[in-house]
Amino acid sequence: MNISIFYEKQDPYKVIRNLTYHIANVGVDLKEGNQNKQDIDIATFTYNDAKYIRKEIQVNNEDLYYLYIYINLFSENIQEQEYLINKVEGILESMRIKNKKSKF
């Protein structure tokens, strides 16, 4: 297994614009109230998080970075490879980390 980690600084103006757009959309969803209780709770949580991140970038000049982690798995046969991939994906999903699979 090889693990590589990269990070990329995001453009603060673009991030603020996207967050403002997201805040407005979620705010409309919250006002409509056509969703069930769980959806409203999730929307409220993301709404507050987006507002907090936007404030930190604007007021405190914080930076936002994307973090990329590449995990290369090597194996002698396909069955072992699939087992390892499923195991790593399960671990990542349990930590709520978004993952994508590439095959070379």
CB 2 within 8 A of CB 72: yes
Residue 11 has pLDDT above 90, yes or no: yes
Question: Cβ distance 26 to 47 under 8 Å?
Answer: yes
Domain ranges of the chain: 2-71, 73-104
66 neighbors 10 (Cβ within 8 angstroms): yes
Taking the C-alpha atoms of residue 16 and residue 56, their distance in angstroms, rounded to an integer, is 10
pLDDT tens digits, 22-44: 888 887 777 776 667 777 777 78
Q: What are phi and psi of 95, to 5 degrees?
A: -95, 10
Higher pLDDT, 79 or 104: 79
| pLDDT, tens digit (0-9, with 9 covering 90-100), for 44-83 | 888 888 899 999 999 999 999 999 999 998 889 999 999 9
Contacts of 99 (CB under 8 A, 6+ apart): 89, 92, 93
Q: Which residue has the tokens 């930076």?
A: 63
